[in-house]
Amino acid sequence: MHVEALHNDRVFERLLLYAKKHPDIWYMVMIDYENSKARAGGLKMSEEEYADKVLGRTKILSGIAKNIGLHPHLYIPYEDPLSYEAQKNEISRVKGLFDQIGIRASHISFGYWTWDENTVKICDELGLKIHKRCMALHDYDLMGEKT
């Protein structure tokens, strides 16, 4: 499952209910203030408040779900890939955030399923295995669903 709306209280409540029933699937967490702000039409919190909230909730989720991974959005399919340096900076940033809260990420999936040969090299260097097109469910898909 791609977890992209941990900052949203209603989505987080639904996600926890779902995770308690499905602890064995992969939960790939996005920690991206600008992406979340754009999707939400503006967030009513600072970037620091967003990070604290999402990281705290990721830690809670990790106490229920057995498999937590990274889910950065590097670029969208019709754009040129980011440079090696830009990709490494973003992947290292999100991996570092997980490290800060004691979650050792071993897997990563990319927004829009976009990656290139540089991404593969970076992931190999950082010890991350790329999940490929195996999950179609998003946390916000749980809204209105019976969990």
How does pLDDT run across 101-139, given as a tens digit for each residue?
A: 999 999 999 988 888 999 999 999 999 999 886 656 889
Cβ atoms of 147 and 18 closer than 8 Å: yes
User: How many C-beta neighbours within 10 Å does residue 134 have?
Assistant: 9
61 alpha-carbon distance from chain centroid: 12
pLDDT at res. 76: 80
Cβ atoms of 27 and 19 closer than 8 Å: yes
Q: What are the backbone angles phi and psi of residue 42, rounded to the nearest 5°?
A: 110, 135
Cβ atoms of 34 and 79 closer than 8 Å: no
Summarised one tens digit per residue, pLDDT across range 27-39 is 999 999 998 888 8
Residue 34 Rama label (left phi>0; alpha psi -120 to 50; beta): alpha
pLDDT at res. 135: 59
CATH numbers and ranges of domains, the chain: 2-142 (3.20.20.370)
